[in-house]
Amino acid sequence: ALAAKFFSRDEVRKHTSKEKRVWVTKGDGVYDITEFVDVHPGGERILLAAGYSIDPFWAIFSVHNSAETLELLEEYRIGNLLPKDDDPSYNALKDDTKAITQALERLFKNDPVRDPQLMTRSERPCNAETPPEKLTDDFVTPNNLFFVRNHLPVPEMDAHVEIEFDAPWMPDTVKVSLEDLKRKYEHLDVMTTLQCAGNRRKEMHDAKPVKGLQWTQGAISNAVWTGVPLKKVIEDVCGPIPKEYEDKLQHVHFHGAEGYGASIPIAKALDPRGDVLITFKMNGTELPRDHGGPVRALVPGHVAARSVKWVSKITLAEDESESHWQRRDYKGFGPSKTLEESKYEDSLSIQEMPVQSCITVPQPGQVVDVNQRAVDSRDEKSVAVKGYAWSGGGRGIVRVDVSGDGGKTWIDAKLRRPGQQQGREWAWTHWEANVPIPENSLNGGKGSVEIVCKAVDTSYNEQPEKMESVYNVRGVLVSAWHRVKVEGIL
Ligand code: MTE
Ligand code: MO
């Protein structure tokens, strides 16, 4: 190892530009990252940390928290910070928090204003869910209440943006303007539900801790998206796939203008019934910036993480996207694996999602009137319940089973399906039921009742009963029966 060089905090603060060189600290380490600035996937934003500790930035941009990133950083190490007692500038510069907070705020200063009704899980970057009762108020979620999941600041993208296309046989990338796309291709409306891989993570976390944002049940929403078919655009811009690539070509990558990226299997992208769009309208209005405006890749039936917002480049490739979010995130692991034991390279990227359902009304702990009669007119007490159900891959919902006794007896819910073609049921199903409540669960006219729901999709896949059986340390694909405990009053 190199003989350690020591730097005062004052010295580190002087290195804040490419001309003066760019230094950052992490823990006690001092790093000269000047050469890295141009290849930083997040671009020049990295300069905001220049002269400071990158820890608070990495706390926000959790994409950095991996062994690989740490290893990469180590390559730029030039020495250590002086121990604080030996550093005359320690006290003078100790209070960095304010400068760092301001730097972070600057990163997000152009983020759009959001509807205060959204339930914020993190402010910077913005992660906010649709309030539970709003999930089933309207079949199509209004734009202002559609959940928001951003990994980075919202980029500023011009309406005249060009999208770059690349394929291994193309001598050069080809740029096509959004205006040309809109002009040249038929516009399609596709109603699609988007669900985050981490929807309902908090329930899993409450059973046993997992890593990730604590979403309840609102990291899912439904909208009508207008766009042009990606398949047609690829065929025109990239031409027919040469014979020697037919078998090799497996993936289509989407690059987001702010640094995010993901890919989907090419079979989905080129499926004429797959309805993958380059979309620019949401519920009849211009695509809002939070949802990818002016232009987004829309991948119906797949985990929302693949519907890349602010799409600036589309690449046909043999391998999956190299993006962190394709390779090192959004994968499922076995129930007994710890974070350290979870090997991302051995696990499959989430694409289509499993069958899901949730109770949106009533909410946990709510006091409910159980005096209504069950719809099937048996002489029982009942409670009015509402919810959503959805499955990936265009699979529709054939049935939602609801129980008022914790899962011993069940009734069929009344469904409101999207009315889409079989195999292209991209949108959710809403359901309601008057669920019978056993008298004996209401001791002396009052008591707690557990309402449970589970859905069955058109492949007759059914939600698993127990959270333990689907537990995974990243808290993704949470699909166990949804249980809501309420207080019933006669
Ligand atoms: N695309 C870009 N460019 N940046 C992002 O952070 N987040 C992904 C996906 N596409 C993301 C993105 C994830 S994880 C989800 S769940 C959805 O966008 C959220 O879409 P929404 O914010 O429109 O609800
Ligand atoms: Mo997500």
Give the position of tokens 């990606």. Answer: 230
When mean pLDDT is compared across 9-18, 190-199, 217-226, the lowest value belongs to 9-18
Collect residues with CB below 5 Å from ion ligand 2.
149, 196, 305
Distance 13 CA to ligand 2 centre (A): 36
**Tokens at residue 302, please?**
């797949």
In whole angstroms, give the CA distance from residue 472 to residue 450: 25
Architecture of the 356-489 domain:
Sandwich (2.60)
- Give the pLDDT band of residue 446 (cuts 50, 70, 90): confident
Nearest CA to ligand 1 atom 18: 305
Catalytic choice (31, 52, 260, 330): 330
- Per domain, the residue ranges of the chain are 6-107, 129-346, 356-489
The question of whether 40 is a catalytic residue gets the answer yes
Assigned token pair, 234: 């690829």
Active site residue 344: no
Active-site pick, 149, 296, 324, 482:
149
Ligand 1, atom 15: nearest CA belongs to which residue? 305
Query: Nearest CA to 393 among 296, 281, 267?
Result: 267
Which comes out higher in pLDDT, residue 10 or 136? 136
Helix, strand, coil shares of the chain, percent, nearest 5, are 25, 30, 45
Q: How confident is the model at residue 374 (pLDDT cuts 50, 70, 90)?
A: very low
DSSP tag of 392: S
**Per-residue model confidence as pLDDT tens digits over 256-301:** 999 899 999 999 999 999 999 999 999 999 999 999 999 999 999 9
Has 196 been annotated as catalytic? Answer: yes
**Residues 454-490: tens digit of each pLDDT:** 999 999 999 999 999 999 999 999 999 999 999 877 6
Q: How far is the CA of 26 from the centre of ligand 2 (A)?
A: 28
Q: Ligand 1 pocket, 305 CB below 6 A?
A: yes
pLDDT at 20: 94
pLDDT at 441: 75
Least confident range from 102-116, 132-146, 370-384, 474-488: namely 370-384
Question: What distance in angstroms lies between residue 127's CA and the mean position of ligand 1's atoms?
Answer: 10
Predicted-complex ipTM score:
1.00
pLDDT of residue 404: 93
Indicate the DSSP class of residue 170.
Answer: -
Compute CA distances 369 → 24, 218, 403, 446, whole Å: 59, 25, 16, 10
* pLDDT average, residue stretch 27-37: 92
Confidence at 378, pLDDT banded by 50, 70, 90: low
Q: What pLDDT does residue 467 have?
A: 97
Q: What is the assigned CATH class of domain 6-107?
A: alpha beta
The CB of 307 under 6 Å from ligand 1? The reply is yes
pLDDT digits (tens, 9 = 90+) for 123-180: 989 999 999 999 999 999 999 999 999 999 999 999 899 999 999 999 999 999 999 9
CATH topology of domain 129-346: Sulfite Oxidase; Chain A, domain 2 (3.90.420)
Lowest mean pLDDT among 10-14, 44-48, 470-474: 44-48
DSSP code at position 431 = E
Instruction: Please tell me the distance from the alpha carbon of residue 91 to that of residue 32, in angstroms, as a whole number.
Output: 23
Q: Could you tell me the distance, in angstroms and rounded to a whole number, from the CA of residue 36 to the centre of ligand 2?
A: 28
Task: Decide: 146 in ligand 1 pocket, CB within 6 A.
Answer: yes
Using pLDDT thresholds of 50, 70 and 90, give the confidence band for residue 105.
confident
Top mutation candidate among 146, 309, 474 for ligand 1, by most atoms within 8 Å of CB: 309
Across residues 388-417, what is the average pLDDT? 97
Predicted local distance difference test score (pLDDT) of residue 372:
62
Q: Is the CB of 324 under 6 A from ligand 1?
A: no
Q: Is the pLDDT of residue 387 over 80?
A: yes
Comparing C-alpha atoms, which of 327, 337, 273 is closest to residue 305? 327
Q: Is 230 helix (H, G, I), strand (E, B) or coil?
A: helix
Question: Considering the chain, what is the average pLDDT of its residues?
Answer: 92
What is the reported pLDDT for 444?
67
Which tens digit of pLDDT belongs to each residue from 206-217? 999 999 999 999
Check residue 95 and give its pLDDT.
62
Strand partners of residue 390:
356
Asked whether residue 21 carries a pLDDT value surpassing 80, the answer given is: yes
pLDDT at 375 over 70: no
Task: Say whether pLDDT at 64 is over 80.
Answer: yes
Q: Catalytic: 330?
A: yes
- Is there a contact between 80 and 7 (Cβ–Cβ < 8 Å)? yes
Cα dist from 53 to 37, 93, 464, whole Å = 16, 12, 45
Q: Does 222 sit in the ligand 1 pocket, CB within 6 Å?
A: no
pLDDT value at 6 more than 70: yes
Q: Active-site residue 151, yes or no?
A: no
pLDDT tier at 94 (50, 70, 90 boundaries)? low
**Which of 8-12, 35-39, 94-98 has the lowest average pLDDT?**
94-98
Assess contact for 255 and 242: CB atoms under 8 A. no
> Cα 265 to the chain's mean position, in Å?
18
**pLDDT interval class at 1 (50, 70, 90):** very low
